[in-house]
Amino acid sequence: MHMMNLLPARCRLSAACSLLLPSLALAQTPQEAPTRSLPAVEVEAARVNGVDAFALPSSSTTVWIDDDRSGPQAQLSEALGGVPGVLARDRQNLAQDTQLSIRGFGARSTFGVRGVRVLVDGVPATMPDGQGQLSHASLLGAERIEVLRGPFSALYGNSSGGVLQVHTARGREGDPWRLRMNYGADNTLSVGAHLRGVQGPVDYNIAANHFRTDGWRDHSRARRESLNARLGMAVGEDRLELLVNHLDAPDAQDPLGLTRAQVAEDPRQATSVAHLYNTRKSVRQSQAGLVYSGERDDHRFRLTGYAGQREVTQFLAIPPGPQANPLHAGGVIDLDGDFGGLDARWGWNGTLAGRALDITAGANVDRQRQHRTGYENFVGNQLGVRGALRRDQRDTVTNVDQFVQAWWQWTERWSVLAGARHSSVRFRSDDHYIVGRNPDDSGSRRYQATTPVAGVSFEVNPQWRLHAAMGRGFETPTFNELGYRNDGLAGLALGLSAARSRNLEIGSKWHAQNGQQLEVSVFRADTDDELAVASNTNGRSTYRNIGSTRRQGAELSWRQPLAQDLELQVAWTWLQAQVRSSYLTCAGSGCAVPDTPVEAGSRLPGVPRQQAFARLQWQPAAWQWAAEVTGSSDTVVNDLATERAPGYAVVNLEAGRRWTLPGGDLRIFARVDNLLDQRYIGSVIVNDGNGRFYEPGPDRRGSLGLQWSWR
């Protein structure tokens, strides 16, 4: 069946617009055919050596991180507002990290990132089980962020509803050094140093940052120190790089979510139990990677090895009563583990039937070992302290993957990109807490899948491309989702199946010589065995497979120069995420066995129907001025759709001025967020068992910064 027959009228209209708009623009602004320059890119899945992403049948966006950005640069969400299909929410809660989803995948995650693959300089920030984090990625030293959406995300393996990659620039001769400071509301301070350049045979890019805040909400104080470094040198004809990063985020306070009544009363308050139990989280992570790469005639290769250690301690607001159950794991989570992996890739560039052909193949092994302990969060009558041991297990998850990808320009105007990945993910847990009525909870489970993808691209003219793509993906449960069985018995939920998805996409890309860009795509993803919450009780979340779901919609990205030094950027997403087969869920916090039906056609929680972003930027001479509007429609917060966060629109302003002085460049910048002082819900906690679904966004906030650059 043709894909357009599968989509509703609104999507077909979007597809028609994607074909007509470039034609209209070309008619209004005739352009000579540009001389095409295809820049080389790093060898990686879903990219082709020497071929611009514009020519590939995939939806990808690159966000360039330049020296003219304002704000604290403390979280990646600051840079992702203009990417269609991406929901990156600052939760005003640094104990829980940025809330990230792509085309609705990952929206159910209550902490960290799941359903989306994250990589930093090619090193996974997503563990083999699919659970990831953004906290150690630094905007200060980054050159660009690449976001891949749609079918070709499956080439990155397990839990790849989308892919986000942070890239650090190589140091080059003449690169500036920078010192940067930003101070804003709520005693928020960010101080960073960024050193980049070449010293003898070594090029370097080193960024160190200190960030602290008292938090907009009560009980949300946090501090972070981070160090990121990329060092490289030539080894004969090849290149060797060392990648290092370190994060220390001690005792970030967690204000927890609020009920609707609490938001109306005081959106800045913390839930009372957050104070009572002093809810907080500490994270420390260190990792290093080595990359060896080179080319031999038409062949190229890259070998990557990495290793790291991560420690997490979290104090939860679980009352002592439920912990009297001998099967309860306690109210303090303590994780101490190491991780590492190897990745080997080979590529070849040649011809087939006289036409350009590029092949990439490789394999990777990743392993995470974690010592998970749980403790009571009380001692006698004292709450919020570490008490008696209640859980002691060692978890291991390993993936072994192989992949191949080929790009062939089989005619002058047609090209095809196809590939496949085979993944094998094995979970194992060894229980060392076998006390009284608490039995041995050890167990293991293996998941396997082969995920093929293919797409074609057609060159209407050198400025305009059409593409279509389709593929399959899969997503295993994370160790957190395997942690408890939904029948209340002891042991891991090893009966959970991996979710399987079928993805389709058609799109249009138009890039003009004068900087105009228009990209439109329509998409659909059908998922079987979707994972969802079965119950939330006594601080435990259990999960189940719920049958089939569908995510379909349209995306638009538009960049338009309006005059000299004046540019407009627009991004819009329409996304319909629905349940396609009914299932049972829990309707109340005390429910342990699902008993309330969720009907087919219900909206998936955590996914707004529409998102929009617009930025107007003017840069006359040494000045920079910008105005942003970001908005979202309402967001359902639970499976039963009994509550929802209302839609909102927020206006932000920026201003900056640069002075060239004898010793370097001085830049002073300011930013005002939520200029109109709107009350809104910035993020939601999906299916919170206590009905505390809402994390309010801040009121009007201002910040002032300065940056000193010298060579």
Q: Strands 389-408 and 414-431, how do they pair?
A: antiparallel
What is the arithmetic mean of pLDDT over 437-464? 94
16 falls in which pLDDT band (50, 70, 90)?
very low
What residue has token string 């989308």?
Answer: 162
Residue 10 has pLDDT above 60, yes or no: no
Q: Are 333 and 374 in contact (CB under 8 A)?
A: yes
Backbone angles phi, psi at 194, to 5 degrees: -130, 115
Please tell me the predicted confidence (pLDDT) of residue 36: 32
Residue 41 has pLDDT above 50, yes or no: no
16-30, 503-517, 688-702: the lowest-pLDDT one:
16-30
Q: What are 182's strand-pairing partners?
A: 190, 705
367 falls in which pLDDT band (50, 70, 90)?
very high
- Which has more pLDDT, 73 or 620? 620
CA distances from 653 to 473, 656, 670 (A): 40, 11, 8
CA atoms of 151 and 169, how far apart (whole Å) = 28
Give the residue among 633, 576, 646, 582 at the shortest CA–CA distance from 604. Answer: 576
CA atoms of 374 and 198, how far apart (whole Å) = 47
63-67, 613-617, 654-658: the lowest-pLDDT one:
63-67
Please tell me the predicted confidence (pLDDT) of residue 59: 95
The residue count of the chain comes to 711
Helices (H) and strands (E) in the chain, counts: 4, 41
SS3 (DSSP) at 71: coil
CA atoms of 510 and 290, how far apart (whole Å) = 38
539 falls in which pLDDT band (50, 70, 90)?
low
Helices (H), 29-105: none
CA atoms of 363 and 343, how far apart (whole Å) = 6
207-216, 262-271, 319-328: the lowest-pLDDT one:
319-328
Please tell me the predicted confidence (pLDDT) of residue 137: 85
CA distances from 354 to 55, 457, 521 (A): 19, 19, 32
What is the arithmetic mean of pLDDT over 531-556? 85
Helices (H), 475-624: 479-482
Element (H, E) at 26: helix 9-28
Give the residue among 414, 511, 412 at the shortest CA–CA distance from 455. Answer: 414
Hey, which CATH number is domain 3-30+58-710, 2.40.170.20, 2.40.420.20, 3.40.1190.20, 3.20.20.70? Answer: 2.40.170.20
Residue 590 burial (C-beta neighbours within 10 Å; 0-12, 13-18, 19+): exposed
**DSSP output for 624-654:** EEEEEEEEE--EE-STT-S-EEPPEEEEEEE
Model's pTM, two decimal places? Answer: 0.90
Contacts of 86 (CB under 8 A, 6+ apart): 80, 100, 101, 102, 147, 149, 162, 164
Q: Strands 162-168 and 117-120, how do they pair?
A: parallel
Q: What are 284's strand-pairing partners?
A: 248, 311
Q: State which amino acid sits at residue 499.
A: A
Per-residue pLDDT of 587-603, as tens digits, reads 766 666 778 888 999 99
Q: Are 330 and 319 in contact (CB under 8 A)?
A: no
CA atoms of 281 and 273, how far apart (whole Å) = 15
Q: What are 452's strand-pairing partners?
A: 420
Residue 21 has pLDDT above 70, yes or no: no
Residue 11 has pLDDT above 80, yes or no: no
Please tell me the predicted confidence (pLDDT) of residue 604: 93
What is the arithmetic mean of pLDDT over 453-478? 96
Please tell me the predicted confidence (pLDDT) of residue 6: 35
151-155, 338-342, 478-482: the lowest-pLDDT one:
478-482
Q: State which amino acid sits at residue 240.
A: L
What is the arithmetic mean of pLDDT over 497-522? 96
CA atoms of 391 and 370, how far apart (whole Å) = 13
What is the arithmetic mean of pLDDT over 446-453? 96
Residue 605 has pLDDT above 70, yes or no: yes
Per-residue pLDDT of 167-187, as tens digits, reads 999 999 999 999 999 999 999
What is the arithmetic mean of pLDDT over 328-345? 95
CA distances from 49 to 117, 146, 229, 426, 531 (A): 21, 16, 25, 32, 36
Per-residue pLDDT of 45-79, as tens digits, reads 567 887 888 999 999 999 999 878 888 887 888 89
Element (H, E) at 579: strand 566-579
Give the residue among 646, 571, 559, 645 at the shortest CA–CA distance from 611. Answer: 571
Please tell me the predicted confidence (pLDDT) of residue 316: 95
Beta-carbon neighbour count of residue 330 at 10 Å?
A: 23
Please tell me the predicted confidence (pLDDT) of residue 159: 83
Q: List the domain boundaries for the chain.
A: 3-30+58-710
Please tell me the predicted confidence (pLDDT) of residue 73: 80
- Which has more pLDDT, 549 or 42? 549
Please tell me the predicted confidence (pLDDT) of residue 92: 87
Per-residue pLDDT of 251-289, as tens digits, reads 999 999 999 999 999 999 999 999 999 999 999 999 999
Per-residue pLDDT of 413-430, as tens digits, reads 999 999 999 999 999 999
Please tell me the predicted confidence (pLDDT) of residue 28: 38
* Mean pLDDT across the chain: 89
Please tell me the predicted confidence (pLDDT) of residue 12: 37
What is the arithmetic mean of pLDDT over 128-150? 89
What is the arithmetic mean of pLDDT over 113-123? 90
Q: Are 185 and 703 in contact (CB under 8 A)?
A: yes
CA atoms of 317 and 619, how far apart (whole Å) = 49
Please tell me the predicted confidence (pLDDT) of residue 13: 33
245-249, 328-332, 593-597: the lowest-pLDDT one:
593-597
